[in-house]
Amino acid sequence: MDGPMNTQDLTQLTATQARGLIRSGDITALDLTRACLGRIAARDDAVRAWITLNPQAEAEAAKITPDDTRPLAGIPVGVKDMIDTADMPTTHNSPLYGTNRPANDAPCVEILRAAGAIILGKTDTTEFAAAGRNAITGNPHDVTRTPGGSSSGSVAAVGDGQVPLALGTQTGGSTIRPASFCGDFALKPSWGLISTEGVKRYSVSFDTVGLIARSVADLSLLADVYALPPAPALHKGRLRIGITQTPFADLLEPETHDLFRNLPERLAPVADLMDFDLPDGFDVVDDLHRCVMFSEGASAMLNMARTRGALLHKDFHDRVEMKMGFTRRDHFEAYDKLAMLRIDLEQRLSDVDALIAPSAPGFAPVGRTPGNPVFNAPWTAMQVPVVNVPVAGLPLPLGISVIGKRAFDRQVLDVAARLAGCL
């Protein structure tokens, strides 16, 4: 470094950059943590990304030394407030859990701490990451707009420079869509690769811990921390990329239509794009996803419906009472149909290096609603890895989804890294 960095510079570092500077002694973990806390203090009245901050964060950061070889030593991380932390409440943004103090960290948090991360605090979320109360968080690029949900606080905190990394979750589109709205890089890993123990369960077939960051390199760093499996090496030549606007293209906003028209030109330096034929029957995959999600959610919320009465939001009572239009028999038939679609999709993915699809209908809408997950839920239902890559040069953040085969998360990250340089 040519000279000391100011606080504003520190809040714009990626985790990878910050880790290198801590290792070299150019900054300390305490410098970085204080810069993040300062940014939160300056912006919290507007963005409101946090439910709880860790009062011990500075003391924990002060113990990190330059020779600490742990991969996240001294890096502040935000944790969605429906993931258990032993030293802070886990409220699920629900009045029913305002005093909930878990005895243990969720395994996904325990792994972060073992890697040396500083858990800076708990971020706001849609209630139980499902329905009910919306997060009060605003989009850092325009606080009249939603950051998206349900991982609202996590994506807003990263997008606003309040923290370099955060954990979210995705059951429908709760990591990828808000990352698109807030201009973040994000990975929805292949289902089952990161433990969801200690994470509020809603739909066990889909619930996935999501990773939110400022670069693909940061996501790759987290992939190492979470021991995501190796994948076949990506070839060095031009990429062969499938492209789809999904069967729901009529729901896309004009800005996304314009983006997809221009993608071949944007990506021409590194990739050849070709139309991708989705499996027959993919037009009902959103219905199948909702059938399974609502049915499993009914089981997950039954205990609270029986014991908390009117204190539990009406949304959850409606789901427990199966008012969403599905039967339990539909639920089991949906399992089988989704399994067949996964097999067909993966066979088709063998013909390309990755698939590109919209990450959201368009720019973040005004208000605090989570946003429409229709462009995310199909890939969640397919249990495949998805990376949101932000697109530069637009009036508001907007991203594309890079999709690959299950357990090929690292290959999808490699594709995303190559594409990101042109976006």
Cross-sheet strand order for the sheet of 118-123:
50-53, 118-123, 76-80, 165-170, 208-213, 185-188, 386-390, 399-403, 354-358, 239-243, 271-275
215 tagged catalytic: no
Half-sphere exposure of 230 (CA within 13 A, CB side): 2
Q: Which residues pair with 402 in a beta bridge?
A: 356, 387
Residue 222: name the closest of 79, 112, 122, 386 by CA.
Answer: 112
Instruction: Please spell the DSSP secondary structure of 274-288, one letter per residue.
Output: EE--PPTTGGGHHHH
Cα separation, 169 vs 209, in Å, equals: 4
Asked if 78 and 49 count as a contact pair (C-beta separation under 8 A), the reply is yes
Cα separation, 167 vs 184, in Å, equals: 12
Q: Tokens 């103090």: give the residue.
A: 101
150 tagged catalytic: yes
Strand segments (E) across 322-385: 354-358
> 397-422: buried (b, 16+ CB within 10 Å) or exposed (e) per residue?
bbbbbbbbbbbbbbbbbbbbbbbbeb
* Residue of 80, 122, 188, 200 with catalytic role: 80
* Residue of 151, 152, 154, 174 with catalytic role: 174
Cα separation, 260 vs 247, in Å, equals: 15
Asked if 242 and 274 count as a contact pair (C-beta separation under 8 A), the reply is yes
220 tagged catalytic: no
Q: How far is CA 362 from the centre of its chain?
A: 17
In which region does residue 133 sit, left (phi positive, over 0), alpha (psi from -120 to 50) or beta (all else)?
Answer: beta
Q: Return the axis-axis angle of helices 328-349 and 285-308, rounded to nearest 10°.
A: 140
Q: How far is CA 264 from the centre of its chain?
A: 26
* Residue of 94, 122, 150, 154 with catalytic role: 150
Asked if 56 and 99 count as a contact pair (C-beta separation under 8 A), the reply is no
Active centre residues (catalytic): 80, 150, 174
